[in-house]
Chain A
Amino acid sequence: MVMKNFICKLICYQMLLLFSFIATATAKVDDPDGQDSISMLYYRETAEPLLKEGLKQFEQESGYKVNLVFVNLNDLKQMLVKGAVNNSLPDVVLAPSDFVSLAPTIKLSKLSPALLSSELIPEALNSMRYQENYYGAPVMSGNHLMLFYNKKYVQNPAKNWQELKAQAVELRAKGIEPIGWNYPEMYWFTSFAATLGGAPLTDGKPSLNSQAYADALIFYKELADSGLIDPTCGYDCAQKDFQEQLFAYSINGEWALADFERDLGDDLGITVIPAIGDKPFRPLFSTIGLIFPGDSLQGKKAKPLAALTLFFQSRRFQDKLFEKQRFLPVNQSSFIQVEAAANNNIKMLLKQLAQAIPMPPDPIMANAWIGMKKGFDRYMADISSAKEAADYMQKFTERDYQKSQPSK
């Protein structure tokens, strides 16, 4: 009888202990998404160290935790759109400025002036504007392409594509690949079209079926057909192989600057992308900022999100952008500081930025990127002529945009 009572008690205590652990675990599982924890998505992989450091500081100062999640840029938009349908959205996303056009779709929070720094570069601020409202807080600017080169292989960087082709022959003779960039990506291609006078949008409407785009297709394809660049060249040969000094040149964005500096050191050179004929190269530039899907700024986490917004726009953080990761700040003072301390490479970076044209903020731009890619692929596969491909770009963009509009 005594033994029986003892065993019963033992079982009860065991069960109590077990339930306690479960409750604790549950509490711990719930914790990352708890009231004081912010879920943040970002797509720029190179920003990870900076973001982690910054967020660590933010956590220390504010006491708010931020759960950082990387998402590939190609998946980001559709993930947000689906999330909006399923009511499963992150609290904040560090996204390119053209994402603000998704404001109605993913229910972005409008930012009040209190959440926008007064020291923001106007272009950066404007890039977050959509239909008279600001739907994002800019954090980084630039995001433009430039020509990186390895001084070990290149003493005089090419100023035009003919020179580059000539140098390619010499470089290949030495076993060095001349140049690499993310050839199939439209962010690179559209810069060529823009250089030739084209624009993805004109007055808020797609203008892809221009001769400039047709010419750009021809010019772009010829670069691959001539053997200057491998048409399958992607991230690896645009960044990784250049870092490993297998390539002499790389057309990449300022997001890769920090990694290139680290690996090439003093051998890294930056210059403007070679002109096409007499036309200086005009890449696109854009802003990266914080957007708040699901109207999260009005939700339970409004306070920590507001604090985060202000933190990312603070001088302290903005100064660290360039210092740590060579990202261009959106704070004017910080930007001036960068300009002042610019070495030759940074000067060339800024020179290229000066030649860049802003990415249109219009919502249709999202469709334009896709339409551009469709036409581009058709032309590269010899399915369409350049003109037909440009027309297809236009048509696809218009159709896709039309479908995304609410039916009247």
Chain B
Amino acid sequence: MFLSNLSSSSLYRLFWLVIILVALLPTGLVSYLLLDKVVQQSREQVLTSLSHRVDLQSEILERELSIQLNSFEQLSQLSDVRLTPTSAVFGYQAGVQLKEFTTQSPLASASYILDRDNWPVEVYPITAERVQLQLITSRVEPFLQQVEQDQILKPLIFNVNSPAMVSALSGNDLTASIDNGWVMVMVLPLVQETQHGSTKFKVVGSLVTLEPYQFFSQILEKWQSNNGGLLLLEQDIKLYSTGLIKENKTDSNIISWDAQIKLADKTFLLRITEPSEGLKAIVFEDLWRLSLIVGSVLLLISCISLLVTRLVGQQIAKLTSQVKAFSQGDYQYRVSGLRFAEFLQVSAVLEQLSKKVITDQAQLEAKVEQRTTALSQANAELNSTLTALTETQSRLIQSEKMASLGQLVAGVAHELNTPLGICVTATGSLEEVERSLNSMVSSGTLRKSELMSQLQTLTDATDLIGRNVRRSSDLVSMFKELSLEHGDEDEGLTQFELKSFLQQLANLRLNSQDSAGVDIQVSGDEIFVQTYMSTLRKILSVLFANARDHAFKNQASRGLKPKVELSCRRTDGLVELCFLDNGSGVDIEPIARIFEPFYTSNRYQGSVGLGLHLAYNLVAQRLQGDIEAENLQQGGLKLSLNFPLQLEPLTQPSSKVLEANWSNASAIKKIDL
């Protein structure tokens, strides 16, 4: 379905669809995947770069510290240094070595040779003499004891937090200005070999160097990027920090990378941080560049596609104009400027086609001429036949009308004749009584018994006349109801729910005398209708009355309780309202005759036979529907009313309705020529 729709639509659309599906969409998809890949790779590259940077910097720092420690160990091995704790004689050379070590080291700020009592024998620089060494010596002493006990030479590395120490090492007294008071302390035991005894050496002192982390900036700050940060930690203690610091581990705006640095038995953590914005900017830059390239490619494809489409479209337009000209009859039209062989081929074929069309057209015109002549003749015959048929139809309708009118007039005359005849007879009796009484009174022979008899005759005659006059009046009223040109002109259209209306009607009926003993059931759909409600009520009253008078006439003898079913349903804009009874049904063929005026099976019981006819007219004229009758298989009669769901106000009866007035249920259809 889609493809057939597609094939029938514009070629441009097809081209663009193909271009989109074949070129742009795959390109876009691939581009998306590529961009995603590039973003991932860029991100990975950035993170890898960060990781490499951290690893490299940690390696460099580790190496620096290791070199520092190695130099420090070498220093501790110098004889002058080892001998100085026991005799300051060697202090001069040891001092030179200390100076050399301290000045060459990028990290060391001060170096000490302490004797066994932790007293500084040699110090460099001299300002380091200001430093209070208690924080250090308190840890050095147990260390030296351990070394002497274990007879294993090893370094001691620990950190102390002392802004005063850093201030002293900086050469100023402004402790408050010191931001970072952490200092790395390296200690090596100074030993002398023992010539005898169980020990290889004895500890004669210690070599101490102080390295404030504040001065690590010389190495670390050159690694720090403009926006990033750098942190040196040992067991969560911030020994050195600069720049962007990630205080909260969950902070996603900062990316950090850690690397371990080992020095002797110590493990430090170097953490480098970068703002994720910066990294995003790098990734975005790559993304931007690639997007630019992809966009350019897509644009190029689009432009080429557009160009090709336009080119093809122009050719097709030219062919279209040629076809259009042909379609408009201009078979001499020739197209120029076609470029491609395929289109030229099509144009050539079209030209051949036009020539054939011209030839065929001439032939066709000749044939048409012939056929037209024949057709005109046949048409003339048909017209005359139609005229005859129309006249015949009119005559038939007229004779039907006259027959129906005659039937109605005969029926009215018949109905009126009986009561009027009785009235005439009774009036004759009254005249006879009058003459008799006048004669008796004149003759003076009137007796009471005779008077009483004459009065009785008078009374009887009067009753008879009254009844029959009233019946005549009723008949006239009934006849008047048949005139339904406009019905109840005051009644307007009402919107109401049909099933509820039927239920109400049923409830009224159940409570009334007329329908006592009748089981009324309502079923069907809840339908909102717009029609003449009182007319519908009148129709249903007639149907109820008809069922009471005719259907349930012998119900008791049949042993069945009278039952009426009202049902309504909606079908295609119409309402089907069914009135079913379980009575005796109708024994007449065709059953539609029950809607004829004056048809009744209870004529001798006083029924005129106008009820169903009245109902029929009301359905046809007021409700603009129709009514059908049908005997039920299980017994009883079904009357089906079909009328519009939404009725518009009626100003003049339609031709169909007028026709229905004068015929049976099957109306004669006019042929509209």
Contact = CB atoms under 8 A, between A and B. Distances in A.
A and B physically associate: yes
Interface of A: 74-75, 77-78, 81-82, 366-367, 370-371, 374, 377-378, 380-381, 383, 396, 399-400, 403-404
Interface stretch (B61-69, B126-134, B589-597): B126-134
Nearest to A72: B92
B79 A82 contact: yes
Given A378-B129, A400-B121, A81 B90 contact: yes
A77 B90 CA distance: 8
A77 B92 CA distance: 10
Contact of B86 (A74, A82, A380, A403): A403
Contact of A381 (B79, B80, B83, B129): B129
B83 A78 contact: yes
Contact of A383 (B90, B92, B119, B130): B130
B115 interface: yes
A310 B127 CA distance: 50
A366 B93 contact: no
Contacts of B87: 81, 400, 403-404
Contacts of B92: 74-75, 78
B168 to A, nearest CB: 9
B88 A370 contact: yes
A374 B86 CA distance: 16
Contacts of A378: 126, 129
A10 to B, nearest CB: 50
B91 interface: yes
B409 interface: no
A403 B115 contact: yes
A77 B91 CA distance: 11
B89 interface: yes
Interface centre among A366, A381, A396 (most CB of B within 10 A): A381
B653 to A, nearest CB: 132
Given A78-B83, A81-B83, A377 B89 contact: no
Interface string B646-665: 00000000000000000000
Size class of B's contact patch? Answer: 10 to 19
B126 A78 contact: no
A78 B89 contact: yes
Closest 6 pairs between A and B when the two form their complex, measured CB to CB: A370-B88, A381-B126, A78-B90, A400-B88, A74-B92, A383-B129
B83 A82 contact: yes
A74 B79 CA distance: 15
Given A78-B80, A82-B79, A404 B130 contact: no
A327 to B, nearest CB: 25
A370 B89 contact: yes
A100 to B, nearest CB: 15
Interface centre among B83, B87, B90 (most CB of A within 10 A): B87
Interface string B86-108: 11111111000000000000000
A399 B127 CA distance: 21
A78 B89 CA distance: 6
Given A81-B87, A400-B121, A383 B79 contact: no
13 contacts: A78-B90, A78-B93, A81-B90, A82-B83, A82-B90, A366-B89, A377-B129, A378-B126, A381-B129, A383-B129, A403-B85, A403-B87, A404-B86
A404 B129 CA distance: 23
Contacts of B121: 400
Interface in B114-163: 115, 119, 121, 126-127, 129-130
Contacts of B79: 82
A166 B87 CA distance: 44
Contacts of B115: 399, 403
Contacts of B129: 377-378, 381, 383
Contacts of B93: 74-75, 78
B119 A399 contact: yes
Nearest to A396: B88
Given A77-B89, A370-B91, 15 more contacts: A74-B92, A75-B92, A78-B80, A78-B89, A81-B87, A82-B79, A366-B89, A370-B88, A370-B89, A371-B88, A377-B129, A378-B126, A378-B129, A403-B86, A404-B87
Contacts of A381: 126-127, 129
